[in-house]
Amino acid sequence: MSLEKFLSQAVSSWMNEDGPSSEIVLSTRIRLARNHHQYAFPTVFTKEEAQQTAEAVGAAVRQAGYPLEELKMEDLQGLEKRVLVEKHLISPNLAEDSGSSSVWLSDDEDISLMVNEEDHLRIQCLFPGLQLKEALRKALEIDDAIEQHFDYAFDENFGYLTTCPTNVGTGLRASVMMHLPGLMMTHQMNRIIPAIGQFGLVARGIYGEGSEALGNIFQISNQTTLGKSEEDITEDLLHVVDQIIAQEKSAREALVKSSGIQLEDRVFRSYGTLRYSRVIESKEAAKCLSDVRLGIDLGFIENVSRSILNELMILTQPGFLQQYAGGFLRPVERDIRRASLIRERLEMDVSKDKGGSDI
């Protein structure tokens, strides 16, 4: 398969479109956790109950009238599931389940509904850039449409009931994925991460809870779901995100002022590594991609598309590399494949610009 064809199938629109504030905010995610009031919760339900729940969710989704396609976990190969995890469309937990779990996806993959994960239903909306209000509006619209046909477990005092007590109330997790190289290089994240905790927010790595902040990418999300409305939770998050954006911008300006040539050198060394290396591990690739993306934002590099970071952080994960290669790859083979995929992808931009190749 050609790289162009592979990319057109692999890259979802929320990954490569420019949204508001996209020089720092890569994407926005809203997820709502919901359960049916009659069925036992996923941690304790029987196989039969799981099956009934999946059918009830399926019927409600169809009646809600959204053009979503269902992918049942039991019908997918391990590699296909891994790719869905790498694309942030399902969780690793859902991928492990081969019972009656499934995911309903929209064509451009901005909507994904997970069935029988930790809760009966998890509604997720992904948008490019900083679009908390828009993503919340979309998720609540889907939620209302499904609720017409699926009786949610809801308590007058507590709100929506969920498997994990930390989700009770709104069942909402609002999150923005931010690229923060300036704050990392100026060692300010060590101060910011504990500070945002005071506002009931948390910073996680690129693959959510427990993952590392590879490529200077952080997900900032709410921890508290109880005692505030959905609108207030997203408003509070937005307020903190706006401040982080302002701090990242001033960190970048300060770096350019104090060590412009060193920064430019770092960016171009990383660009050289990505453009010419033959073997590259994911950590090094993430670091170099972050530098190159910063170089694009600062105007040092002009012939590479801004979405390179979002796209390649996902497409150079093990599942995608193996899908592109068409079979199992050992770690060292993946490092070789990763290097060649990055070279080819950069080459696409350069030859568009110059009409020639030098790799």
Ligand X SMILES: Nc1ncnc2c1ncn2[C@@H]1O[C@H](COP(=O)(O)OP(=O)(O)OP(=O)(O)O)[C@@H](O)[C@H]1O
Minimum CB separation from ligand X for residue 120, in Å? Answer: 14
Could you count the other beta carbons within 10 Å of the beta carbon of residue 214?
17
Q: State yes or no: residue 209 binds ligand X (CB under 6 A).
A: yes
Q: State yes or no: residue 176 binds ligand X (CB under 6 A).
A: yes
The helix (H) or strand (E) run that includes residue 112 is strand 111-115
209 annotated to a ligand binding site: yes
13 φ, ψ (degrees, to nearest 5): -65, -35
Select from 27-35, 242-250, 274-282, 287-295 the region that touches ligand X (CB under 6 A): 27-35
Structure tokens at 42: 């996923």
Q: State yes or no: residue 216 binds ligand X (CB under 6 A).
A: no
Give the span between the Cα atoms of 324 and 162, in whole angstroms. 38
Residue with Cβ nearer ligand X (86 or 291)? 86
30 annotated to a ligand binding site: yes
Residue with Cβ nearer ligand X (221 or 273)? 221
Footprint (CB under 6 A) of ligand X, residues 279-318: none
Q: State yes or no: residue 27 binds ligand X (CB under 6 A).
A: yes
285 annotated to a ligand binding site: no
Footprint (CB under 6 A) of ligand X, residues 69-128: 88, 91, 118, 126
Minimum CB separation from ligand X for residue 153, in Å? Answer: 17
Distance of CA 139 to the CA centre of its chain: 16
Give the span between the Cα atoms of 170 and 281, in whole angstroms. 40
Give the span between the Cα atoms of 28 and 131, in whole angstroms. 6
DSSP, collapsed to helix, strand or coil, labels residue 241 as helix
Q: State yes or no: residue 208 binds ligand X (CB under 6 A).
A: yes
**DSSP conformation class of 169:** B
Structure tokens at 121: 């239903």
Select from 26-34, 63-71, 182-190, 282-290 the region that touches ligand X (CB under 6 A): 26-34
Q: State yes or no: residue 32 binds ligand X (CB under 6 A).
A: no
CA distance to 247, 274, 340, per residue, from 344 (Å): 35, 10, 6
Structure tokens at 110: 């901005």
Footprint (CB under 6 A) of ligand X, residues 188-207: 204, 206-207
293 annotated to a ligand binding site: no
Alpha-carbon Rg for the chain, nearest whole angstrom, is: 21
Structure tokens at 150: 């699926």
28 annotated to a ligand binding site: yes
Handedness of CA 39, 50, 95, 4 (dihedral sign): negative
Which of 120, 138, 173, 179 binds ligand X (CB under 6 A)? It is 173
Interface residues toward ligand X, by CB under 6 A:
27-29, 31, 88, 91, 118, 126, 173, 175-177, 204, 206-209, 219, 221
- Positions at the binding site: 27-31, 88, 122, 173-177, 204-209
